[in-house]
Amino acid sequence: MMLVLAVIQLIAISAVSAALYDVTKYGADRSGGIPSTDQIARAINDAAIHGAGIVHFPPGKYLTGPIELKSNIILDIADSTIITFLDDPALYPPLDATLPDGKQRRIEFTPLIRGVGVRNVAIRGNCVLEGNGAIWWDRLPPPATRPIFIYFSGSHNIVLKNIIIRNSPMFNVNIIWSNSIVVDGIRIRNPESYKGAGPNTDGINLLSVNRVHVTNVDVATGDDCLVLDAWGYGKDRDPTHDVLIENSHMSIGHSGVGIGSITAGGLRNITIRNCVFDSVCRGVDIRTNNVRGGVVEDILYQNLTMNNCTWEGISITALFPDYKDKGWHPIGDQTPFIRNIRYENIRGSAEREGIYLVGLPESPVENIVLENVDMRSKKPNPILLQNTRNIVINGRRY
């Protein structure tokens, strides 16, 4: 089903993209010496004015400020090309965007590459996108924010294929309020954050999205490798659903695949399968707390290997982030619910608990099945359950 979807998307994009717009024809410099921000923008605008186009980067080294994508554009980057982003903060002013559905969103810095309210966009190529992050991490350590590398919001039909993203100032890929997304074969490389580098460099960060296929990605980064969130406030709920993550490798980040802690919009129908995680903090986790709200349900984890998790292996907690017991609260809009989660064929090792499931007294974590799960742990008690209901681990009911 997802494969069919991916193929449809690629066809949709190819169909609208006959003409080629070569950035060097617009004066872009490919020797790496002279910034080409305006030349690249002119090539993209020209393609957009003509309705669609392939904006092509011939082999070389390019230097640029932020790139704004338009609808019906493929950024097609030649093999071995390096595009380096300038690190002058003045080039990345705050960005206000109104999405097609009227939602307002302000981000503190213009992202390095952005698509706001666009349709049918792809970035592809066996190339390197270099974010020059070290200078930003130094200049603006947390809690300050820095520019996001690739950012989409309010967009439809997005494909990221084969690119290598290095040294992002902040999140590497951040897609919000969008649908029909394929992320295939990309590689993300940022240093580990505990060495004082790479702060908040989430690999792939997806918020309030649906119809998503992530496959063959390889992420090593200083924060979560992949995270799914869902925005919501009051009666306004923007769920995340119909997501397939497969055939991927995650290492050194905080979570291999994290769900939450922004759960208010609700997250459902998510499958994570055939992945290998090495030396991440938590292998797979779902995290929320008693003011986050939302329902997390119908999640399937299948065939995962997670070696050397430095914290827990499989984790669900409704006491994020500090794990302290907050006592009982009346059930309301802010109460999160976590239920109907299945783990099959999972193996690996963790410094802390292999299986850690913690709910709230007023909202236990419920209907959790773990089958053929072999998670070794350095703890005398490798399984911790608190405020749970109807848990089955390898055939035994808890």
Strands 236-237 and 232-233: antiparallel
CA distance 108 to 217: 28
DSSP string, 191-254: --GGGT-STT--SEEEEEEEEEEEES-EEE-SS-SEEEE--EETTEE--EEEEEEES-EEESSS
Closest contact distance (angstroms) between CB of 274 and ligand NAG is: 4
Closest contact distance (angstroms) between CB of 226 and ligand NAG is: 15
Toward ligand NAG, which CB reaches closer, 45 or 303? 303
DSSP 50: T
- Nearest 5 degrees, angle CA 159-CA 45-CA 207? 35
Toward ligand NAG, which CB reaches closer, 2 or 91? 2
CA distance 269 to 253: 24
Strands 73-77 and 119-124: parallel
Closest contact distance (angstroms) between CB of 2 and ligand NAG is: 5
Using CB under 6 A as the criterion, which residues of the chain lie in contact with ligand NAG when the complex forms? 1-2, 242-244, 247, 252, 269, 271, 274-276, 279, 303, 308, 310
Toward ligand NAG, which CB reaches closer, 132 or 303? 303
Toward ligand NAG, which CB reaches closer, 315 or 363? 315
Do 164 and 195 contact (CB within 8 A), yes or no? Answer: no
Toward ligand NAG, which CB reaches closer, 48 or 314? 314
Toward ligand NAG, which CB reaches closer, 147 or 348? 348
Closest contact distance (angstroms) between CB of 85 and ligand NAG is: 28
Distances in whole angstroms, Cα of residue 79 to Cα of each of 1, 73, 82, 125, 248: 30, 19, 9, 6, 22
Closest contact distance (angstroms) between CB of 296 and ligand NAG is: 15
